[in-house]
C-alpha cells in the first residue's frame, strides 16, 4: 500500500496560503533527496552509476540544483531544458540530450556544453555532423519492436516514433566507428509508469545482450547502458510502489551473467527517471470556490486542467484529500472540477470524499512530475506558482505565478491598452 500523507498540517498550510495564494504546486525537498539517495544506493554495486533526471518531469532549476547535490545529471530533450540544466550547474557529460526530431540549435548547444548526444534515428547522423559536428561520445536509442512488450502509456514499441530498429543499430554504430568516434553508449526506453519489478530486469537483459553483440560484431565496448526511465509511482493508495532494492539486485544478477561473463564488467548503468524521483513529492493545493448540484454533485476548485493535465488528458487517477478532514468519513460522492470550458476538466469523477465546504483546501497528490510542467494557457488561464518545502520547514518560492502582463507579453499592438 502507498502511504498518502501530506507533509504539512492544516495550520501550517493555511499560513503558507496567506503569503502564497492558491493554486500552487509545492514540493517536499527532504523526501526528494531521500528518494534520490535510495535509487543511488540500490545501484551502488554498479560501476559509475548514473541518474539523468528527466528535466521534462519538473523543469525548474531549483529542483535540478537539489538533485545535482544528490549526484543526479539531466536528461534533456530541448534547448530550454539544456539551458535550465546549465543554470542549475549541470554541464558536460552529466547531461544527456536524447534526440527526437531535433533542430540544429539543440545539437549545437549540446556540443557546446559537452553533453552526451543520444540519437533517435540513423538519418540524424549526417544532420548532426553537418550542423553541429560530431561529439566525443555518441549513443543511439534502440527500439526493439515486437521483441519486447511496451505498456499502456508508451504503447507497443513497433508503433512508437522513437528509436532505431535492430538492423539500424548495428549500421549506425558502424557508421560512427568509421567516422572516428571512439566512445559509445547505448539507450532504450520501452516502458512508462511501470510498477512491475520484473519489467526493468527484462529490459536490462535485452540491452546487456545487445551490448555483447556490439562487442562481438563491431569490437565496440559501450561505456554505459541507459535503461531509460519508466519506473512508476503508486498513484492509487492500494498500489504497491516499485521495490528499487529488488530491481537493483535483479539487474545486478543479469549484469554479472551477461556483461561480466562477456568481459564487459566496466560498463556503467544509467537511468533517466523523472516521475519516480519527484513525482510522489509534489502536491497541487487548491481552494474550493463553488459547489454545484444538478444530476451530480460538483466541487469547483480555483485550479483547473491548466494546472494538472493528467486526469483530463489520460483519465489518470490522482489521490485527493481535504486539508483538516483527512480522517473524516468519506460520506459524499463528487466530481472535482476546474473552470475550463471543457467537460474533461475534472480532477476526479465520482470520488468518495468527506463533506466539502466552500473555502476548504483540497490537496491533489503526486504532481511532482508531469504536473506543473504540462500546464498551459488555454481559456486564458494563468499558470500557478511553484513552492519548495525546505528541509528546515521553511518555504521558498521557486516560480512565481503568472500574471495578466505575462499572458500579454508575447502579443503585439496591445502594449498601451491593457487594464
**Confidence at residue 94, expressed as pLDDT on a 0 to 100 scale:** 98
DSSP characters over 158-204 = GGSS-SB-HHHHHHHHHHHHHTT--EEEEEE---SSB--HHHHHHHH
- Annotated binding-site residue? 378: no
304 labelled ligand-binding: no
pLDDT for 99 equals 84
Q: Summarize pLDDT for 100-152 with one digit per residue, the tens.
A: 899 999 999 999 999 999 999 999 999 999 999 999 999 999 999 866 555 45
* CATH classification for the domain delimited by 43-273, as one of 3.30.2130.10, 3.20.20.10, 3.30.110.30, 3.30.300.130: 3.20.20.10
Q: Is there a binding annotation on residue 235?
A: no
Determine if residue 275 is labeled as part of a ligand binding site.
yes
pLDDT (0 to 100) of residue 153: 45
pLDDT band for position 159 (cuts 50, 70, 90): low
Beta strands in 217-343 (DSSP E): 224-226, 268-271, 282-293, 297-301, 320-322, 332-337
Q: Is 96 helix (H, G, I), strand (E, B) or coil?
A: strand
272 labeled part of a ligand binding site: yes
134: its cell numbers: 560530431
Which is catalytic among the residues 76, 330, 341, 344?
341
Instruction: Tell me, yes or no, if 341 is annotated catalytic.
Output: yes
pTM of the model: 0.94
Percentage, residues of the chain above pLDDT 70: 95
Top-level class of domain 280-408: mainly beta
pLDDT tens digits for range 21-72: 999 999 999 999 999 999 999 999 999 999 999 999 999 999 999 999 999 9
Domain ranges of the chain: 43-273, 280-408
Amino acid at each position: 500500500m502507498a502511504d498518502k500523507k501530506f507533509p504539512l498540517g492544516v495550520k501550517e498550510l493555511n499560513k503558507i496560503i496567506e503569503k502564497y495564494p492558491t493554486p500552487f504546486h509545492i514540493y517536499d525537498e527532504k523526501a526528494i533527496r531521500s528518494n534520490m539517495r535510495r535509487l543511488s544506493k540500490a545501484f551502488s554495486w554498479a560501476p559509475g552509476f548514473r541518474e539523468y533526471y528527466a528535466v521534462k518531469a519538473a523543469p525548474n532549476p531549483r529542483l535540478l540544483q537539489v538533485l545535482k547535490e544528490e549526484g543526479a545529471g539531466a536528461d534533456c530533450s530541448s534547448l530550454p531544458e539544456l539551458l535550465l540544466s546549465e543554470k542549475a550547474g549541470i554541464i558536460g557529460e552529466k547531461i544527456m540530450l536524447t534526440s527526437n526530431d531535433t533542430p540544429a540549435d539543440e545539437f549545437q548547444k549540446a556540443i557546446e556544453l559537452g553533453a552526451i548526444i543520444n540519437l533517435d534515428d540513423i538519418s540524424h547522423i549526417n544532420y548532426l555532423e553537418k550542423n553541429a559536428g560530431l561529439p566525443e561520445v555518441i549513443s543511439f536509442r534502440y527500439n526493439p519492436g515486437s521483441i519486447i512488450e511496451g505498456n499502456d502509456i508508451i504503447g507497443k514499441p513497433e508503433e512508437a516514433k522513437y528509436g532505431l530498429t535492430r538492423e539500424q543499430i548495428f549500421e549506425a554504430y558502424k557508421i560512427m566507428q568509421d567516422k572516428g568516434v571512439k566512445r559509445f553508449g547505448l539507450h532504450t526506453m520501452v516502458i512508462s509508469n511501470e510498477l512491475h519489478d520484473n519489467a526493468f530486469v527484462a529490459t536490462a537483459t535485452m540491452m546487456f545482450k545487445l551490448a555483447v553483440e556490439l562487442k562481438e560484431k563491431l569490437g565496440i565496448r559501450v561505456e554505459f547502458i541507459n535503461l531509460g526511465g519508466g519506473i512508476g509511482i503508486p498513484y492509487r493508495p492500494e498500489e504497491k510502489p516499485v521495490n528499487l532494492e529488488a530491481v537493483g539486485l535483479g539487474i545486478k544478477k543479469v549484469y554479472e551473467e551477461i556483461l561480466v561473463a562477456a568481459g564487459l564488467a566496466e560498463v556503467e548503468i544509467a537511468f533517466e527517471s523523472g516521475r519516480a524521483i519527484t513525482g510522489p513529492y509534489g502536491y497541487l493545493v487548491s481552494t474550493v470556490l463553488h459547489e454545484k448540484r444538478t444530476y451530480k454533485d460538483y466541487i469547483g476548485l480555483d485550479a483547473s486542467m491548466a494546472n494538472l493535465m493528467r486526469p483530463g488528458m489520460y483519465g489518470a487517477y490522482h489521490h485527493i484529500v481535504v486539508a483538516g478532514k483527512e480522517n473524516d468519513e468519506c460520506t459524499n460522492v463528487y466530481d472535482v472540477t476546474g473552470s475550463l470550458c471543457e467537460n474533461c476538466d475534472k480532477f476526479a469523477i465520482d470520488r468518495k470524499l468527506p463533506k466539502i465546504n466552500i473555502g476548504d483546501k483540497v490537496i491533489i497528490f503526486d504532481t511532482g512530475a508531469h504536473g506543473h510542467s504540462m500546464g498551459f494557457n488555454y481559456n486564458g488561464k494563468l499558470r500557478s506558482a511553484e513552492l519548495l518545502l525546505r528541509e528546515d520547514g521553511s518555504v521558498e518560492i521557486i516560480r512565481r505565478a503568472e500574471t495578466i502582463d505575462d499572458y500579454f507579453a508575447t502579443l503585439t499592438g496591445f502594449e498601451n491598452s491593457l487594464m
